[in-house]
Structure 1
Amino acid sequence: MTKREIIMAASKKSGIPQVVIQQCIAPVFESILDALSEEKKVTIRSFGTFYVKETKERIGRNPQTGEDIIVEPKKVIKFRATAQTEKQNR
């Protein structure tokens, strides 16, 4: 689902115009990205947690030549969904 599809679905469910939804969620997404760029966790109750994880250096393989190469460590954004319980679904 794209950001545009989220806006359209939220507009349809709430009856709020798409432009208003866009103006409301844009700062939310920006705030999430700002926090992640500072390597902070972002937890949204009953939804999940976004966090930054650093991968380790590893040995990879060039698929064209078969040569071993060193893949440098990097930081990636991860998401862990909240476990849904029967109570939360009601």
Structure 2
Amino acid sequence: MDAYDLHSGNGNNLSGYANAQIDGIISALAVSADPAERARLLAEAAPVLWDEMPTLPLYRQQRTLLMSTKMYAVSRNPTRWGAGWNMDRWALAR
């Protein structure tokens, strides 16, 4: 699950969860690149989300990435959408 799925305006918010404070935090996370600020925002969101429990994470999907040592520019996807996210950059050494 992606944190953005909890934003009330997101089409992936299948539970219909809505909380203005969490919406604000998620919006701020989307534009902040500062690790300290992101950690502060996540720490602010955590007690609200634990209290309201808008989703119950029962499992975590494992992602495995295997490749030939001849391949380069292959990297793990930083999101949940699979290994081929940057395959336009992949190359095979000759």
| TM class by smaller structure | under 0.3
Structure holding more strand per residue: 1
What TM-score, normalized by structure 1, do the two folds share? 0.24
Larger of the two Rg values belongs to structure: 1
